[in-house]
């Protein structure tokens, strides 16, 4: 964990730089979460397994809460909520759409949807983990706590997706497919 100490004048520029990076990355994930609220319903529509549909449906609701929580993060650091296109999430969503188009409906498409969804979760886990640490470094305690909450929920979604993916592998073994 980084420790905050009194800064010398020569170091203030560094803190300013980190703060700018923090706010910029907040805008990136704010855009990403909004894009995901539009993308997840398509994944739900294309999924077959009840467990997967259920997990994605719940995560859609959680994702909407992430947007609200990010708005609280912006205001806690005295910034206006604003989105900035996240090229990474835009790319992952485009890949998810391609996977859904090119696979046959059923277990294989479900496996592809899980793959795409887990790529998204891992991106979010990396982003929220870093943002949480930046917030802590900047002494933004409220933002730190809010970002930690979202980080935990993204990790939870990732674990659930892994459990579903593993149940497919088991089923495959049982049916000999």
Query: Does the protein bind Zn ion through residue 66 (CB under 5 A)?
Result: yes
What is the DSSP annotation of the chain?
A: -----PPPGGGHHHHHHHHHHHHHHHHHHHHHHHHHHHHHHHHHHH---HHHHHHHHHHHHHHHHHHHHHHHHHHHTT--------HHHHHHHHHHHHHHHHS-TTHHHHHHHHHHHHHHHHHHHHHHHHHHHHHHHTT-HHHHHHHHHHHHHHHHHHHHHHHHHHHHHHHHHHHT-
Q: Which of 44, 60, 67, 88: binder of Fe ion (CB under 5 A)?
A: 88
Site pattern 11..30 for Fe ion (x: CB under 5 A): -----------------x--
Stretch that binds Fe ion, among 14-22, 47-55, 86-94, 136-144 (CB under 5 A): 86-94
Stretch that binds Fe ion, among 16-24, 48-56, 79-87, 130-138 (CB under 5 A): 79-87
List the single partner that 110 binds among Fe ion, Zn ion, none, CB under 5 to 8 Å by kind: none
Binding site for Fe ion (CB under 5 A): 28, 86, 88, 124, 154
């Amino acid at each position: 964990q980084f420790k905050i100490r009194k800064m010398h004048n020569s170091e203030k520029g560094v803190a300013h730089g980190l703060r700018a990076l923090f706010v910029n990355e907040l805008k990136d994930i704010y855009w990403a979460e909004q894009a995901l609220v539009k993308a997840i319903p398509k994944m739900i529509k294309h999924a077959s397994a009840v467990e997967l549909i259920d997990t994605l449906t719940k995560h859609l609701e959680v994702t909407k809460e992430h947007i609200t929580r990010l708005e609280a993060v912006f205001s806690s650091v005295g910034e206006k909520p604003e989105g900035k296109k996240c090229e990474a999430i835009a790319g992952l969503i485009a890949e998810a759409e391609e996977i859904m188009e090119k696979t046959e409906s059923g277990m294989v498409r479900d496996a592809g949807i899980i793959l795409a969804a887990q790529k998204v979760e891992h991106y979010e886990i990396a982003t929220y983990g870093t943002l949480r640490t930046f917030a802590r470094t900047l002494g933004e305690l409220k933002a730190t706590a809010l970002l930690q909450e979202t980080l935990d929920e993204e990790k939870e979604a990732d674990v659930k997706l892994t459990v579903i993916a593993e149940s497919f592998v088991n089923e495959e073994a049982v049916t000999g497919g």
